[in-house]
Structure 1
């Protein structure tokens, strides 16, 4: 019998359909999912619930995914949590900037379920 490690993933995504799709993929694969519809809410949930991974969109109202990365990396409680950025921005400069802000993986939309799971596995296990 194989033992699968179940992790908790916090998703920061302002598009309800995108949030649902991502949650569905992850829950189907055995992950616990914490949903937030923006970066500020995600920051609060990251501090209180300490997820294993955070997936964030870049363009969101109020606070961007890049700002979320910076805030998480500055805080001693959250600085070790891996961050996966999932954005429709697919320029090399966006990717480089994301890494500079503390992101561990940069994925572009649209993505497949496999790409999403691979990105998470690459930073967690």
Structure 2
């Protein structure tokens, strides 16, 4: 049985095409999908829904993904929710923002859906 089945996931992504693809594919894996299209809405949804996992894009309107992640990870109510940040700018595997913001996993675009699932499963097993 998958560690992801029946778990809730908040996807914060401003690109509608990516948001729809991720949402559709994660629903097929029997996940409960919550969506937001900007950083502020993502913060509100995270606070009201308390998802089991979060996927956050780094480039978002109103509040970037790093700031959103930092706000959530440094709040005792949400610090244990695993965050997978999706970034467009690889930094040779050495991203200083990952440490400063408490991000659990970092995935660079473009990525395979199987890599995203592996990252989520490894976060869910902790």
**2:95 aligned counterpart, secondary structure:** helix
**Matched residues in 1 for 2:99 and 2:11: separation?**
18
The two structures, once aligned, show a CA RMSD in angstroms of 1.7
- Matched residue, 1:111: 111
- Given the alignment of the two structures, is residue 7 of structure 1 paired with residue 14 of structure 2, yes or no? no
Gaps of 5+ in 2: none
**How many pairs align?**
124
**Matched residues in 2 for 1:103 and 1:17: separation?**
24
TM-score (norm 2): 0.90
- Matched residue, 2:90: 90
**Matched residues in 2 for 1:7 and 1:119: separation?**
15
- Matched residue, 1:102: 102
- Matched residue, 1:60: 60
Cα distance per residue 1:78-113 (max 9 Å; x no partner): 111010001111113773312321100000111112
Structure 1 residue runs of 4+, over 4 Å off? none
Gaps of 5+ in 1: none
**Matched residues in 2 for 1:79 and 1:93: separation?**
23
